[in-house]
Amino acid sequence: MSDLSNYRKSYDKSELLETTIPEDPINLFDKWFHEVEDFDSPETSGVEVNAMTISTIGLDGFPKSRVVLLKQFNFEGFIFYTNYNSEKGKAIANNPNVCLSFFWHTLERQVIIKGIAEKTSSNISDGYFASRPTGSKLGAIASNQSDVISSRTVLEENLKELEKDFVGLEIPRPDYWGGYIVKPVEVEFWQGRPNRLHDRIRYQLQSDFSWKIERLSS
């Protein structure tokens, strides 16, 4: 058994105070996102600032978390793309209540977002799909995401066939692939602080679409 009880770190890089935060969580998310982006670069730190964990409730009743990439955010919500027939797509179709989380360790920050996932419009999905590299477009068609396959060769052979089929042709977005927007109902910001007395600020959406702001104990 590995004993990790001596793994300890002091958090002292920043603070999160009610006197300096905006009334809307998206404004604070935007500020934090770009601060991490300016602080880190993938080439030097390995940090992908737009990497987020999405948790869904599966058809088997168990929660499941996996990392996906945030591709856009605005005052409506947070957008990512996937195969609608995948395990996560089926889970969202059955229960659209999801949780997104970001962990930016270099600035000792977390953001946890509870929200409701909805498919984006076709034109948004079409626009993003058109912007992808050719290999990524064909990969979305070659893989029946989450299906059991006999070997990696199945994927590689599918891709080779598609590369032949689409030589010189436009690659259309398949109907089963597209975007989701997660519309937040609760956003919690966590800033590491010394002595484990971390700052936690929670925004909760109200019926009039304003945000209730509360501090949580660490």
Active-site residue (options: 109, 196, 202, 215): 196
Cα angle for residues 190, 34, 194 (degrees, 5° grid): 30
| Sign of the CA dihedral running 40, 131, 137, 133 | negative
Known catalytic residue at 66: no
Span between the terminal Cα atoms of the chain, in Å? 29
**How far does Cα 61 stand from its chain's mean position?**
21
31 with 58: CB under 8 angstroms? no
* 57, HSE (Cβ side, Cα atoms, 13 Å): 10
* 5, HSE (Cβ side, Cα atoms, 13 Å): 2
183 with 77: CB under 8 angstroms? yes
| Catalytic residue ranges | 196
